[in-house]
């Protein structure tokens, strides 16, 4: 291959748009062709007592690996088996309780076809994704899903591009249909994604990050303003909860309330806290996701929240900085 000059930026943009339009058209065409075969494929996946084994080779193999990962993370136990490795021992991973999903655009890949007699002997149901309904793989499948495309996005019409995009999209459709049928929810999702930012958002509750005990700034309604300011300063949350004699929450006094008070009155030494606090403050329950607390703070333009239990008792205090420290936001 001879060296070529750099592609002008305008031409590169034109090529990129063509690729995206061709691949988008391939996915739209796939959606228009969906029929009862897709429904039957979903039924097989839902009925699977073992694992969904997804297999392919080459570019289809890369897509198969991703589909297996998506299924596994959304409630459908799945593994990827490389078609070339299957004939060298990995076929032992497939049992009669499993479902085999085989990807091959031509439907004639030798490695995949070598797997089928063993899978059939085991009684393993086969779902095939091919672009050729008359191919060997399609004919041997219990369910054939047609992923044919009019053309590849490659200008040579050779490199798997549109076809692999169609396979990937159809794999996502299968995973999401199964997710919905299983009633797979956020808590289920969190259990399979415990690490990273996603896990923190789905697994961290207000009770996990709120300040409790002596770390909660609190005073009573008959506390002097000066003493309330000392409590705010010592607890470093920019506010204090205000309680009645029985410990019930009556209000909140914040740095913002103090600034507004100073704008109105020069001498605040004899001001009663009950007269300047904010009554019916914004609160949240301890069993709410911390991410929801962050959203509430953002919507209401607040930096702090008081945490109360089902009976209305003060059990914690939360600052935006606590959510940042926990990497919820």
Are β-strands 239-243 and 249-254 bridged in parallel, bridged antiparallel, or unpaired? antiparallel
CB atoms within 10 A of CB 52: 25
Average pLDDT, the chain: 88
| 13-184 CATH pick, 3.40.50.10490, 3.40.50.2000, 3.40.50.300, 1.10.10.10 | 3.40.50.10490
| Chain-centre distance for alpha carbon 315 | 30
For residues 196-218, average pLDDT: 81
Please write the tens of the pLDDT for every residue from 87-112: 777 878 888 999 999 999 999 989 88
CB-based contact 304:323 (threshold 8 Å)? no
- Looking at residue 29, what is its pLDDT? 94
Angle at 24 between CA 23 and CA 29, to 5 degrees: 95
- pLDDT of 87: 72
Query: Which pLDDT score, from 0 to 100, does residue 199 have?
Result: 58
Which residue is it, tokens 């990129």? Answer: 16
Given 3-state DSSP classes, what are the helix, strand and coil percentages for the chain, each rounded to the nearest 5?
Answer: 50, 20, 30
DSSP code for 5: P
Q: Spell out the domain ranges in the chain.
A: 13-184, 206-325
Nearest to 286, CA basis, from 323, 314, 326: 314
- Say if residue 192's pLDDT is above 70: no
Look at phi and psi of residue 254 and say left if phi exceeds 0, alpha if psi is from -120 to 50, else beta. beta
Q: Please state which architecture CATH assigns to domain 206-325.
A: Roll (3.10)
pLDDT beyond 60 at 83: yes
Residue 268 predicted with pLDDT over 80: no
pLDDT at 91: 79
pLDDT above 90 (res 142): yes
**Which residue would you say has higher pLDDT here, 69 or 198?**
69
Length of the chain: 329
Q: At what angle do helices 36-47 and 162-182 cross, to 10 degrees?
A: 60
Summarised one tens digit per residue, pLDDT across range 297-315 is 989 988 889 999 988 889 9
């Amino acid at each position: 291959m001879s060296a070529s000059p750099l592609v002008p930026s305008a031409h590169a943009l034109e090529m990129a748009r063509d690729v995206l339009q061709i691949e988008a058209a391939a996915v739209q065409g796939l959606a228009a062709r969906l029929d009862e075969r897709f429904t039957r494929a979903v039924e097989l996946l839902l009925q699977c007592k073992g694992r969904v084994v997804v297999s392919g080779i080459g570019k289809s193999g890369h897509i198969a690996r991703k589909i297996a990962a998506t299924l596994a993370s959304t409630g459908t136990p799945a593994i990827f088996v490389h078609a070339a490795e299957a004939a060298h021992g990995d076929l032992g991973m497939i049992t009669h309780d499993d479902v085999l999903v085989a990807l091959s655009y031509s439907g004639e890949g030798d490695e995949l076809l070598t797997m089928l007699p063993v899978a059939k002997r085991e009684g393993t149901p086969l779902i095939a994704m091919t672009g050729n309904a008359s191919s060997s793989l399609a004919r041997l499948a219990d369910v054939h899903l047609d992923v044919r495309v009019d053309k590849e996005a490659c200008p040579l019409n050779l490199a798997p591009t549109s076809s692999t995009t169609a396979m990937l999209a159809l794999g996502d459709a299968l995973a999401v249909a199964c997710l919905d049928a299983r009633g797979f929810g956020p808590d289920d999702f969190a259990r399979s994604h415990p690490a990273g930012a996603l896990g923190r958002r789905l697994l961290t509750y207000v009770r996990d990050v709120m300040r409790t005990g002596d770390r909660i700034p609190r005073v009573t309604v008959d506390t002097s303003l000066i003493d309330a300011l000392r409590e705010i300063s010592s607890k470093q949350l920019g506010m204090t909860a205000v309680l009645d004699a029985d410990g019930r929450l009556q209000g909140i006094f914040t740095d913002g309330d103090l600034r507004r008070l100073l704008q109105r009155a020069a001498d605040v030494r004899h001001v009663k806290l009950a007269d300047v606090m904010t009554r019916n403050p914004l609160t949240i329950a301890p069993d709410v996701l911390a991410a929801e607390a962050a959203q509430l703070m953002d919507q209401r333009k607040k930096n702090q929240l008081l945490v109360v239990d089902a009976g209305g008792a003060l059990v914690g205090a939360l600052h935006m900085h606590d959510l940042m420290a926990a990497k919820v936001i």
